[in-house]
Structures are given as structure tokens and as C-alpha cells.
Amino acid sequence: ASDVIPVPVDSARFRPPTQAERLKARAALDIDPDAFTVVFVGHLQSRKRVDRLIAAFAAIDEREPRSRLLLVGGTSGAADDAEEQLRLQAANLGVSDSVAFFGPVNEPEQHLWAADVFVLPSDREGMPNSILEAMSCGLPCIAPPSAGGEELLNDETGIVPRSADPGDLLVPLQRLAEEPALRGSLGRAARRHALEYDVERVIGDYEQLYARMTAAGRAAEPTRRRGPRRASDGRSRAPSS
């Protein structure tokens, strides 16, 4: 059987904020204390499909103008640069004042603390760190199967919509906007699940794996048997008379 060791998360750094920390993070980002806030963390490149998230968010913003969408991440190292198109899209949809582009940041946990929901609408992902970090911060997450949602989320820890189409994203976004109690229960369960991927626990998994591999290697070594001592010409040395 193969050993699958997950990507770790620093659960001490990415942790749920206190109420004071949450309010401080919101104040620093100029977000109303009660505004429904959505966050995305990742490269602003085409395959992340942030355009779908902006389209879904525009419908939320129309119903609740105080809502905010935080886009955290730049384009350095990305396969392409989608930021200009995303800014244009936000302007065309009339949500430029509600969508904030932060670029790359050193402490994304501050933006996670300020948010109510994390969304990853990517076309393809493996096991994304960004979802784990959001879960570890106690955020309910929305991610379709294409974004790795099925790997980490279930009915108790988040929502896995059918696809990342704007309509499919809007349904869970609207539900979470209207049900703060559901946000709380999903967020608490997400934190508990994320602790299974804590960096210290994963280090322990690696140590156990290396120990098993070392033991298996030793067991596979051939047993050496010592035969009679041979003379240098290959014949048995006869005893001297």
C-alpha cells in the first residue's frame, strides 16, 4: 500500500481570530464590522477563474451593497496575468468599489480573519494550501471539485458546488450571506478538520514513513554467510605438517 502524506498547514499561525482581532483586521482594511465579506487567496491567473467569482459576487453586491470581495495575491510567477481583465470586469459590473485587489501579501491571515467566506473557483488544483489555510482560520469554504474541494470539504466543513460557474457559486454564497449560524458551524468544523493537517502532525507522519522505509531496507539486505578461508589461488589452504 502506498503512503499518502498531505500538505501541511501551520495551524498556530493560521488560527481563528478573536473578536478583537477580527474587528481590528476589518478596520485596517476599511471593512464595515457587519459587511458580508468574501476572500480569495492565490495567483490572479486565468486558470484560477476569479472572473467567475466576481460575476457571482456582483449578484450578492446588488442585494447587499456593503458586501466586500477581497482578492489577495499577485501575478508574479503566474502562468499569465489576469488582473487587468479582472479590474475591467469589476468596473463593467459596477462593483469596483466593493472589490479590493491587494496584490501579494506577507500575512494573508489578516485578510482571512476579516472575511466570512473563502472561495476558490479554479479550473484545476491539487490539494490547495489556500483552502487549508482558510479552514485553519475557521472559515467556511466554497470550492468545486475542479478546485480540489472534494479532497478537503464535506457537508460539515464547507460547500462543494457542482461547478465554478457563477450561478453554481452564487447559491452557496447567498446561503452563507443569509445564515451566519451556518457560517459559524461550518467554520468550526473546518478548523477541526484542518488540525489533521497540522505541520507538527505531518512531520510525525514523515518520520514514521522514513522509519518504515529504513526498516524495510534493512530487512531486504541479503544475509552474508562466512565460508572456509580460501588461499589466494582459490584453493583451500592445507594444514602445514
Mean pLDDT of 29-58: 96
Mean pLDDT of 136-148: 93
150-180 per-position pLDDT tens digit: 778 888 899 999 999 999 999 999 999 999 9
- Residue owning grid cell 489577495: 72
Sequence-ordered list of residues with C-beta below 8 angstroms from that of 40, at least 6 positions apart, any chain: 48, 50, 53, 69, 70, 71, 72, 73, 118, 119, 120, 121
- What is the pLDDT at residue 81? 78
205-236 per-position pLDDT tens digit: 545 555 555 655 666 666 555 555 554 444 44
Q: What domains can you pick out in the chain, each with its CATH number?
A: 19-197 (3.40.50.2000)
Residue 69: other Cβ atoms inside 10 A:
25
Q: What is the pTM of this model?
A: 0.81
72-116 per-position pLDDT tens digit: 998 776 667 789 999 999 999 999 999 999 999 999 999 999 999
